[in-house]
Structure 1
């Protein structure tokens, strides 16, 4: 019965996913070894479960028949193929995300550069505008100062 049985190292056993480590070999209700599988309820059963819960169920099969050839079944092969495809898809998605992050970083840098350039242009324009306005104010002030000074001298001369 054990000629196809393969031994697993403790290290490999410890690296199994948690859901596999939590699989029970005994019935939780009766603490007896699972012996049959109920296809109607899709669960493993011990001998007491059959009397208690599965008395009217048809299609009870020995558990060994259900899991015996699972590793060589087409389903396992399909699952393995699907997992390989999933891994390839995940690698592609990871690469896609990396490329997107690089592109976003580049766009961010370009946007910051454009903002700084625009700010310098606006500052230059405002500086020129300020200089022009200050010159106009200074010029108008000088003209008015001269006009008022002339009017004041004229009044002083008539007195």
Structure 2
């Protein structure tokens, strides 16, 4: 969003990762886990998931809309095994997830962090169950178009 509240297309890898993560979280929350729509859990889960999407995109040299080729199974692996390094290397700017990344890093190892990771994990597992074990972000495009809140 812009400062006047208007929506604009993502322009950086991080913004594409946040956009994808937000849509993945919204789809799952609208069908299976409505409490995930509550703040601050939603924002924290989106940022953590975006950091993991971003991490996998960097590893695969994907940028912009090409991050849609990232496998959700690989994102789940990053979430389970590389969450801290994904947050640390996210490059999330202030005002667009930077503060939440710092907050999540500070909370690592606590119930607060574990609750956020569990919510993001459930969302990913829901997409993998619905789309199959080799599901990529792009493969969820049709389902994500049908988000209703």
Structure 1 and Structure 2 fold alike (TM over 0.5): no
Question: Larger RCO: Structure 1 or Structure 2 (Cα < 8 Å, ≥ 6 residues apart)?
Answer: 2
Q: TM-score, normalised by structure 2?
A: 0.21
Bigger-Rg structure (1/2): 1
| Structure that is richer in strand per residue | 1
Q: TM-score, normalised by structure 1?
A: 0.20
